[in-house]
Amino acid sequence: MLNFLKPISIYVRMSRDKIKMRNLNHGISAERVAINKFSNERLIIADYENAEYEMRELIKQVVKPSLIAPMIEIVFQINDDSIREIAPVERRCYLDSCAHAGARFVVVCEHQNMLSDRDALALLKR
């Protein structure tokens, strides 16, 4: 397969006003504390625009620039002890925010245990 057609797999762990991101293809990692807060006491993503901006900025750090827009696939995971279960409306929020940040395919991981690169890639292959 031509390299520019191969999807770029990214693992995202989001907590309150903080995002950790890892490019699963190249092992490049980045982490960012939000300049513009996107969380509140009840929601991880309370401000869509700020969350999407922060994700886009991190994607720029973990994905090598190219002339053709890359096909990005994301495994998205929440990291917050106060959240026991993801409600359907929250799931939709996470899917939409990742899509607006540039992802073409998104998987939301229900549990909060950190995934290995292999486990994250396995979720994307389902």
pLDDT of residue 20: 97
pLDDT of residue 2: 59
pTM: 0.92
Q: What is the domain extent for residue 49?
A: 3-125
Residue 126 has pLDDT above 80, yes or no: no
pLDDT tens for residues 20-47?
A: 999 999 999 999 999 999 999 989 999 9
Which residues contact residue 79 at a Cβ distance below 8 angstroms, ignoring those fewer than 6 apart?
13, 14, 15, 20, 112, 114
Residue 49 has pLDDT above 80, yes or no: yes
Domains held by the chain: number: 1
The secondary element (H helix, E strand) that includes residue 103 is: strand 103-109
pLDDT, mean of residues 66-84: 90
CATH of the domain at 43: 3.30.420.40
Q: How far apart are CA 82 and CA 114, in angstroms?
A: 16
